[in-house]
Structure 1
Amino acid sequence: MKNIEKIFNALKELNEKYNHTLISTEELLQEEENIIELTQIDVRMNKVLAKLSQIEDKEKLTSALLQLHLVIGDIEWQFDQIHEMVRQVIENIED
């Protein structure tokens, strides 16, 4: 998850270098909020993983696996958002 933050910070620096023409302020603020959520996602994932191996009941195990599935979906979404921002920067540099 730290890599997403590093990518975001690199994109912010590029945006500053190019006089804020690569990414809008609104998009940067939105992505900054997303980056803050990463800590919460990481906490949720660690909680699920910590209890996963201790669950005996199949119903509770299924529930925990569904929670893990949702966390992974949130992580995928975060990566997709930063990936989209990279694509946008590429397009705007070429213009």
Structure 2
Amino acid sequence: MKNIDKIFSALKELNEKYNSTLISTEELLEEEENIKELPQIDERMNKILANLSQIEDKEKLTSELLQLHLVIGDIEWQFDQIHEMVRQVIENIED
């Protein structure tokens, strides 16, 4: 997930190069807040993955897998947000 941060940094640099015409300040601030959540998401995923192999009870295992499903959803959302920003930059560069 470190790549999301690198992508965001590259987009911020491009935005500065183009006099902040590619991405609004509001969107940059919002995405910055999203990126601050990445370490917690990563920590949750690592915790779940560490627990999976130790769980014997099927009900507890199902619960833990559900938590993994939710974490993967959070990761997908983060990638989707940065992907949308890339599309926006493409559109605004072409204008």
Q: TM-score of the superposition, structure 2-length normalised?
A: 0.99
* Equivalenced residues, count: 95
Structure 1 residue 7: Cα displacement:
0.2
Map of 2:6 onto structure 1: 6
Identical amino acids, percent of aligned pairs: 89
Question: What letter is aligned with 1:40?
Answer: Q
Structure 1 residue 20: Cα displacement:
0.3
**5+ residue gaps, structure 1:** none
**5+ residue gaps, structure 2:** none
Map of 1:68 onto structure 2: 68
3-state SS of paired residue (1:27): helix
C-alpha RMSD over aligned residues? 0.3
Partner Cα separation in structure 2 for residue 37 and residue 94 of structure 1? 31
Question: What letter is aligned with 2:16?
Answer: E
Structure 1 residue 86: Cα displacement:
0.0
